[in-house]
Structure 1
Amino acid sequence: MAKGTRCMALLLLVGLAARAVSAVPDGLLPNGNFKDGPGKSQLNGTIVMGSHSIPFWEVSGFVEYIGSGQKQGEMILPVPEGACAVRLGNDASIRQKLSVTRRTFYSITFSAARTCAQAEKLNVSVASDSGLLPIQTVYASIGWDSYSWAFKAMHSVVSLAIHNPGVEDDPACGPMIDSVAIKTLKPPQHTKSNMLKNGDFEEGPHVFPDSPWGVLVPPMDEDATSPLPGWTIMSQSKAVKYIDSPHFVVPQGSYAVELVAGREAALVQEVITVPGRSYRLFFSVGDAGDGCKDGMVVDAYAARENLQMRYESLGVGGHRRAEVGFVAVGNRTRVVFQSLNYHMKPDGTLCGPVLDDVSLVSVRKRVARRLFM
């Protein structure tokens, strides 16, 4: 081969490799909404035939390209955030390579909808980091929910994969995926005025500006990277909802957390304390202005104390401030928040009390057991 030809071939390979790795500014991934789909020759009906048929994505297994309003039998498959989505059948996955900054934390947000299988789960992974996200509970009335997951980048190029580990009799009975986005997380630190990290919930996953249903933060292992920095969600299969002020009423700032799963999900943070020292825990409880009308109760725990803070919701927004005093009994103290009961909106979707503006301070003298404002 002539020298010039070899150079041209090398340049072509370098160019193709560069195109295969996507730069990742915060927001939607390249073709993250699957607007650019396979050519007609790369489709067998709805089934994607080639592993690189969808631009910027690599697919494997039984993957379908679904248009909004398409039917499966008598069931219409909606795609609320765009014109197209992908459906992952038995053991199918989609994958995209991303250029990232090493040792930086990132969160992934994507929208998913269950189709005909019941106990659907999705495995999201980057290298050895992975999380199995249960999606069988539907929280939004349209049947689609946005989910978040987080990882710490250990390399400058990583491969993000979303995989359906299920095996159904009908290979087409898998979840649909749409609108995959990324956000760089800046892990907050505690301050002199607040021992809790991210007590105002201003640091969290990407929220799609056109999605009025918030982002679910699913249960995670205690050692896992949290898309809601500083906080862990303890549950078997339920989530909490991360909400924003453009679409919901939040007590303070731009973001808050809605406790939508009753006692089945707890929001937890562990802090360093001094045994025998007194502390005060402050927080706001309200409603998201989303039509959730009920007598709501947030159960707050710290050391040996707990406070059941009641809020009468009219579904139009508003909040109350509360505090509880406790004496630390160990070197580490868990702060825990749960909704005491389940709540539903008139359309049958789950909702619950909103938690925001949480702070923990040390005090010199022993404080009263329970205090209200």
Structure 2
Amino acid sequence: MASSSSTKKNTMRLQSSAPLLLLHLLMARFSSSADLLQNPDFESLPTNLPPENSTAEFIPLNQTTTTLPGWTFEGTVLYVNAGKTVSLQRNGSHAVQLGPDGRINQTFTTEGSSGSASIYLLTITVTYSAVGGGRNCTASAAAVVSAPDSRTEVYQRDGYDGKPWQSFGVYLGNWEEGEVVDLVIESMSSDPDPDTICWPIVDSVLLKSARSLASDNGNLLPNQDFELGPEFLTNSTEGILLDQAQSPLQSPLTQWSILGTIKYIDSDHFFVPAGNAAIEIIAGNSTGIQTAVPLSQGSSYTLKFTLGDANDSCVGDLSITAQAGSVLKNYTVQSNGTGSGQSFSMTFEAGSGTTPTPISFLSLTALQTKAGAFCGPVIDDVVLRASMGVRVAMNWSFLLFLALFAASAV
């Protein structure tokens, strides 16, 4: 278990991003749509493939004579057919490999209603070791995902799920309706050998948009049940890895900062205490999430949440530190790895000043499943409530903020 001093140190690291959380994102419900890209799984065959190579596992694409439906490409790009060397059974029969200077891109037009911005999140599934010939490809190659507002490196992690294919969630940006966005996925390698076989293979790319709408359901936390995150692939069984994001406004777990690596899990393949999604804190001690909310000074609040295991053979004590304002408490559940959850609550008083109050959950656990994959505590169904008097005051404050915000925008 981490010492109290190290826990406080990492808590302060999370607190540094708290002021970035805008007040108008405090209370939200969401509408979303997914599958916004053409040929996101590369199952539509390229045109003009040489007949003698059409059944090969790796087919070089010629930029002059070949087109890849929905995508443009540059550099060394190979079309991948499932075979003995690489298995694509989970996500179909085809993929693309990005070799030296390999790059694919697709331009899309943002959707939504006039004057309303949408958040865009990407799920990307990649592998390296499927063609690595036993080599360690984790440190030498990456797929870089970029858009006008973001740039994210995606590289394979040993021990995070025990399988060659891994899915990652990426924040792309926040745009209003009708904007033209160029999504770029390209290779990057630190290996000086240009003939290395550790180049990324991209199996599927799923784009999701979501709009936030003001709503007051009595819960003061944004995205409190983690339902707004990257889109799950229908035939994916290992969840989605979410990497560190210091800003809650530029995070794949919308409106929550991420420290370290966590796993976004769905109710179809894991134990999820409430709704369709939850998070599993898998990267060991001091990994976690945080958000922040403006609260009424000196008023009393109660933070409730569910702590459990994901039904992924994670056996042992699952411990976390929960922080609400200046109050930090440790909580533990004993897991037999078959899926269970227990509700906890803590009461605290909002501090002084105008800085938003941090709400965070940090893991104190470093465990592995029977298959050797990292695992840890599941957090879900987080609720922050106050007395009726405070809640009314918050609503009037929120309405006043909206009025001032609208006036300043005119």
For normalisation by structure 1, the TM-score amounts to 0.81
Task: Please state which structure has a larger fraction of its residues in helix.
Answer: 2
Q: CA deviation at 1:285?
A: 0.5
Structure with the greater relative contact order (CA < 8 A, sep ≥ 6): 1 or 2? Answer: 2
The equivalent residue for 1:65 is 79
SS at match of 1:334: strand
Q: CA deviation at 1:33?
A: 1.1
> Distance in 1 between the 2:249 and 2:184 partners?
17
Q: CA offsets, 1:206-259, max 9 Å, x none?
A: 101111111222222416533322212123xxx211111111111111211111
For normalisation by structure 2, the TM-score amounts to 0.75
SS at match of 2:320: strand
Task: Please state which structure has a larger fraction of its residues in strand.
Answer: 1
Kept after mapping to 1: 8 A contact 2:286/2:364: no
Percent same amino acid at aligned positions? 30
Return closer, same or farther for 1:286/1:231 CA change in 2, 3 Å cut-off: same
Q: CA offsets, 1:115-135, max 9 Å, x none?
A: 342224332122243233443
Q: CA RMSD for the aligned pairs?
A: 2.6
| Unaligned segments of structure 1, at least 5 residues | 1-23, 366-373
The equivalent residue for 1:33 is 41
Q: CA deviation at 1:145?
A: 1.4
> Distance in 1 between the 2:248 and 2:363 partners?
24
SS at match of 2:241: strand
Aligned partner (choices 113, 129, 132) of residue 153 of structure 2: 132
SS at match of 1:164: strand
The equivalent residue for 1:15 is none
Residue 365 of structure 2 is aligned to residue 341 of structure 1? yes
Return closer, same or farther for 1:141/1:190 CA change in 2, 3 Å cut-off: farther
Residue 315 of structure 2 is aligned to residue 293 of structure 1? yes
Q: CA deviation at 1:70?
A: 4.3
The equivalent residue for 1:7 is none
Amino acid aligned to 1:335:
I
> Distance in 1 between the 2:279 and 2:40 partners?
26
The equivalent residue for 2:8 is none
Kept after mapping to 1: 8 A contact 2:248/2:257: no
Return closer, same or farther for 1:223/1:294 CA change in 2, 3 Å cut-off: closer
Return closer, same or farther for 1:190/1:219 CA change in 2, 3 Å cut-off: farther
> Distance in 2 between the 1:132 and 1:222 partners?
17
Most deviating of 199-208 and 32-41: 32-41
> Distance in 1 between the 2:143 and 2:216 partners?
37
Amino acid aligned to 1:180:
V
Kept after mapping to 1: 8 A contact 2:33/2:210: no
Q: CA deviation at 1:299?
A: 1.6
Q: CA offsets, 1:39-88, max 9 Å, x none?
A: 433979632222753211111222222222343xxxx5555311111122
| Unaligned segments of structure 2, at least 5 residues | 1-31, 390-410
Residue 167 of structure 2 is aligned to residue 146 of structure 1? yes
Return closer, same or farther for 1:78/1:142 CA change in 2, 3 Å cut-off: farther
Kept after mapping to 2: 8 A contact 1:189/1:198: no
Amino acid aligned to 1:130:
R
Residue 270 of structure 2 is aligned to residue 248 of structure 1? yes
Kept after mapping to 2: 8 A contact 1:60/1:94: yes
> Distance in 1 between the 2:214 and 2:288 partners?
21
Residue pairs, 1:76-91, within 5 angstroms: 76=86, 78=88, 80-91=90-101
The equivalent residue for 1:111 is 125
Residue 216 of structure 2 is aligned to residue 194 of structure 1? no
Q: CA offsets, 1:129-154, max 9 Å, x none?
A: 32334433452222211111122135
> Distance in 2 between the 1:84 and 1:240 partners?
28
Kept after mapping to 2: 8 A contact 1:294/1:313: yes
The equivalent residue for 1:353 is 377
> Distance in 2 between the 1:190 and 1:342 partners?
37
The equivalent residue for 1:97 is 107
> Distance in 2 between the 1:328 and 1:181 partners?
40
Return closer, same or farther for 1:286/1:128 CA change in 2, 3 Å cut-off: closer
Residue 67 of structure 2 is aligned to residue 46 of structure 1? no
Most deviating of 179-188 and 130-139: 130-139
Amino acid aligned to 1:36:
S
Residue pairs, 1:278-289, within 5 angstroms: 278-289=300-311
> Distance in 2 between the 1:188 and 1:114 partners?
40
The equivalent residue for 2:405 is none
> Distance in 2 between the 1:260 and 1:85 partners?
28
SS at match of 2:223: coil
Q: CA deviation at 1:95?
A: 0.6
Kept after mapping to 1: 8 A contact 2:145/2:151: yes
> Distance in 2 between the 1:231 and 1:269 partners?
5
SS at match of 1:187: strand
Residue pairs, 1:257-272, within 5 angstroms: 257-263=279-285, 265-272=287-294
Q: CA deviation at 1:198?
A: 1.1
Kept after mapping to 2: 8 A contact 1:126/1:159: yes
Return closer, same or farther for 1:311/1:101 CA change in 2, 3 Å cut-off: same
Q: How many residues align?
A: 335
